[in-house]
Amino acid sequence: MQPPFCTLTHLLLRNYKRADYIARRTAQAAYRKKVLNISQQDIDDYINKITGGLGYLGKPGKNDYRVITLGCYIAWAEASLSAEQILEIGTGLGRTHYCIRYVNKNAAIHSIEVDPIILGIALYRNPYHYFAESLEDKNTFIFLNDAIIVAKILLRNKESYDHIVHDGGPNPKKNTRLYSYGFLNTLYKLLDYGGTISVFAGKNPEYIRRIYRTMEKIGFKKLETITPPGIPVRIIRGKKH
């Protein structure tokens, strides 16, 4: 299922509540059509395909501590403590959103997701129920469309963010558009001065280096590569000065 084009119209009009409403209704329709009557194994397989596994061992819904720990590393939750507006690339099941919302109850969170099916699972059949509950927060706005297009609209709207979380895919090598100079530069422009960014960079050393160098070239400062305990992935954190 494709994300609704009308979302972009409402974003252009800065009607974020309406865009969020459409995202949730589209996700509900996708859930009813594609998820409601399939087996749990098929749902688990789809979650693994889209998210790359979230860090659990076995099936989704297990290893809560491990899953949340990795999510909080990716989210860089402590950097968002005093943030007033936060941008999230990749809603997924709502893990990084949960980590941010746990420490910051009041920030406006704009979360972008391109897949209505995974959003439907996140909202209506999430193996981690507290992720779904967190996504219902009144200050959370989900935009269902291509992150590259949405980010450009937000920039056009002169939005700015204190903190950005980029968790746009489990394998940057397979989704190079979201790790390109152009897209990362758009995120740089959306980030307020003094703001922070956390980018999930995957496992591939070549692409980790490429993302790091791209961020460095764009102008992100105080870059550091983080390795969560016991999980062989890298997260790149930086700031805008």
Q: Measured between alpha carbons, how far is 142 from 176 in angstroms, rounded to an integer?
A: 23
> β-pairing, 161-166 with 234-239?
unpaired
Which tops the pLDDT comparison, 172 or 150? 150
Residue 55 above 90 pLDDT?
Answer: no
pLDDT in tens, 223-238: 999 999 888 899 999 9
Nearest C-alpha neighbor of 214 from the set 201, 204, 196: 201
Residue 205 above 70 pLDDT?
Answer: yes
| Domains of the chain, CATH where assigned | 6-239 (3.40.50.150)
Q: Are 15 and 23 in contact (CB under 8 A)?
A: no
Query: What mean pLDDT comes out for the span 159-177?
Result: 91
pLDDT in tens, 3-41: 777 899 999 999 999 999 999 999 999 999 999 999 989
pLDDT in tens, 133-157: 999 999 999 999 999 999 999 999 9
Q: Measured between alpha carbons, how far is 100 from 178 in angstroms, rounded to an integer?
A: 21
Query: H or E segment at 221?
Result: strand 221-226
Residue 59 above 90 pLDDT?
Answer: no
Q: Give the chain's end-to-end CA distance (angstroms, integer).
A: 40
What does the pLDDT read at residue 57? 47
pLDDT in tens, 103-114: 999 999 999 999
Please state, rounded to an integer, the average pLDDT across all residues of the chain: 93
pLDDT in tens, 174-201: 889 999 999 999 999 999 999 999 999 9
What does the pLDDT read at residue 215? 98
Q: Measured between alpha carbons, how far is 137 from 141 in angstroms, rounded to an integer?
A: 9
Q: Name the amino acid, one letter, at 241.
A: H
Q: Measured between alpha carbons, how far is 172 from 201 in angstroms, rounded to an integer?
A: 7
Q: Measured between alpha carbons, how far is 101 from 125 in angstroms, rounded to an integer?
A: 20
